[in-house]
Chains A and B, each alone.
Chain A
Amino acid sequence: MSLDTHIAGDEPVALAGAGLSLAGPRDFFQLMKPRVMSLVIFTAIIGLLVAPGSLPLYNSVMAIFCIAVGAGASGALNMWYDADIDAQMTRTKKRPLPRGVMEPRTALTFGFLLSVVSVWMLGLATNYVAAGLLAFTIFFYVVIYTMLLKRRTPQNIVIGGAPGALPPMIGYAAVTGTVTLDSIILFLIIFIWTPPHFWALALYKLSDYGRVGIPMMPNVAGPKSTRNQIFGYALALAAVAAAPVLTGLSGSVYGFGAFLLNVGFLALAFKVWRSRAGEKDEVQPESLYEVQKGDRDARNLFAFSIFYLFAMFALIGVDYLLPGSF
């Protein structure tokens, strides 16, 4: 009997020894995009919390676990498909596949298995509406966003924002087995928040996306149009943020906090709108400082947007838990 350790000539460097993968548990965990997963877990918990009705503790924990694993699975499948461009961007070149510690088919198998297991387990632990929504989320992220939109249109992250916005809706559906106006509002908060969040990043990381040919809005429509759209979305976001108060999903604590957060978001988006963020290509030496300052404004908006989303959902949760906040 012979060992199956035949070396192919074009193995990645890290697999050059006997051709066995060096990937460890940490690499597989990294494949699941843990930072994205933390946001998914948090928003799903809030969806589950504010949904009318109740779910036994075990089933609630299982629901959150399955949603997190499903999100991780779509992250792994995304990294499998995007390994070529990930290798060329500073932000992503240290991922397991570009580093060569893992074979692409390993990531594909890992992502596919986790997808099936998480959807099936969610259906078993809660209901098939929630499981269907999770399956839709994974499909949308991998097929619609990663394979079809990301490399083709500057609207990639607008439409592709949907799967990132679905976890609170899945959490909600895990309890109720339905999709309601309240869960759609939770979805919309993240959905409308996504474009200004990513475009603020793209404004000062313009060259990275441009180099690999991803049509982000600043590369295609230009920095000025992107800044206009960021401000437009910030206005829309403020309007959507008021909706939980109008429908009775949240009360005064949320209302007050959301007001302050949206004033902050609008103020930073306004600064970006007035700035020259992202205009590196046409920059004259005398206006270099203005562009750098604009990039700082874009970075501030990006950083604040992360805090904003966590804080908005935390407020919805706190408002629900505090008695008599209506």
Chain B
Amino acid sequence: MQEYRDRPTKFSKPTDAEVKARTKRNLALAGGLLLFVILVFVTMVSRGELPGAV
């Protein structure tokens, strides 16, 4: 069955600067998420709220 939707017709390749900026942002996001997970873990441990934690 035919599907109707707006299909993009114009495409362009990202420039080097755009790819570089996107890579940096992705790395920063990954780093931020990792830091967040670590901070939550350490905070829970510091409060003694993790089972078996000191």
Please give the residue numbers on chain A whose beta carbons come within 8 Å of chain B beta carbons, in ascending order.
2-7, 17-25, 28, 56, 58-59, 62, 117, 121, 124-125
Are B39 and A22 in contact, with the CB atoms below 8 A?
no
A22 to B16, CA, bound (A): 10
Task: Give chain B residues whose Cβ lies under 8 Å from the Cβ of A6.
Answer: 8, 10-11
Are B21 and A18 in contact, with the CB atoms below 8 A?
no
Q: Residues 1-40 of chain B: 1 if any A CB is under 8 Å from the residue's CB, otherwise 0?
A: 0000000101111110111011011001000000010011
Task: Give chain B residues whose Cβ lies under 8 Å from the Cβ of A19.
Answer: 12
Looking at chain B's contact residues, is the secondary structure mostly helix, strand, loop, or mixed? helix
In this complex, how many residues of chain B approach chain A with their Cβ under 8 Å: the count is 23
A24 to B17, CA, bound (A): 10
Please give the residue numbers on chain B whose beta carbons come within 8 Å of chain A beta carbons, in ascending order.
8, 10-15, 17-19, 21-22, 24-25, 28, 36, 39-40, 42-44, 46-47
Ranked 8 nearest A-B pairs via Cβ: A6-B8, A20-B18, A18-B14, A17-B15, A18-B12, A22-B21, A125-B43, A124-B43
A18-B15, A22-B17, A125-B43 known, 15 other contacts, Cβ within 8 Å: A2-B8, A4-B8, A17-B14, A17-B15, A18-B12, A18-B14, A19-B12, A20-B14, A24-B24, A25-B24, A28-B28, A58-B43, A121-B43, A124-B43, A124-B47
Task: Give chain B residues whose Cβ lies under 8 Å from the Cβ of A125.
Answer: 43, 46
Are A59 and B46 in contact, with the CB atoms below 8 A?
yes
Which of A3, A17, A23, A58 is within 8 Å of B42, CB to CB? Answer: A58
